[in-house]
Amino acid sequence: MFLDQASLDTLFRVKGVLASETSPEVKGQLEDIGFLIGEQVTVLRKGLFGKGPILVRVGSSTFALRENEAKLIELEAIAS
């Protein structure tokens, strides 16, 4: 599952970050702000109709990501 598909207020773990074909530098930028393998992620809010900016908490930081950036972050559910 990718971050843009994740449900709200559920705890996930970063499984990987893909490189975009059109903007390969985005992978490094996402890793620089904390989207590293094993880091915990929660989706706090999505834009209107589930589209648009996605507000996420990764580790102890909160970020708004574009939908195309969220599609590059692969997640796995954390068993409760």
CA dist 2 to 58, 74, Å? 14, 4
For residue 80, pLDDT beyond 70: no
Q: Which CATH class is domain 3-77?
A: mainly beta
18-73 pLDDT, tens digit per residue, is: 998 888 899 999 999 999 999 999 999 998 876 779 999 998 999 999 999 999 99
pTM comes to 0.91
For residue 3, pLDDT beyond 80: yes
pLDDT of residue 70: 95
Q: Which two tokens stand for residue 38?
A: 């094993």
Which sequence spans correspond to the domains of the chain?
A: 3-77
44-54 pLDDT, tens digit per residue, is: 999 887 677 99
- Please tell me the number of Cα atoms within 13 Å of 9 on its side-chain side: 0
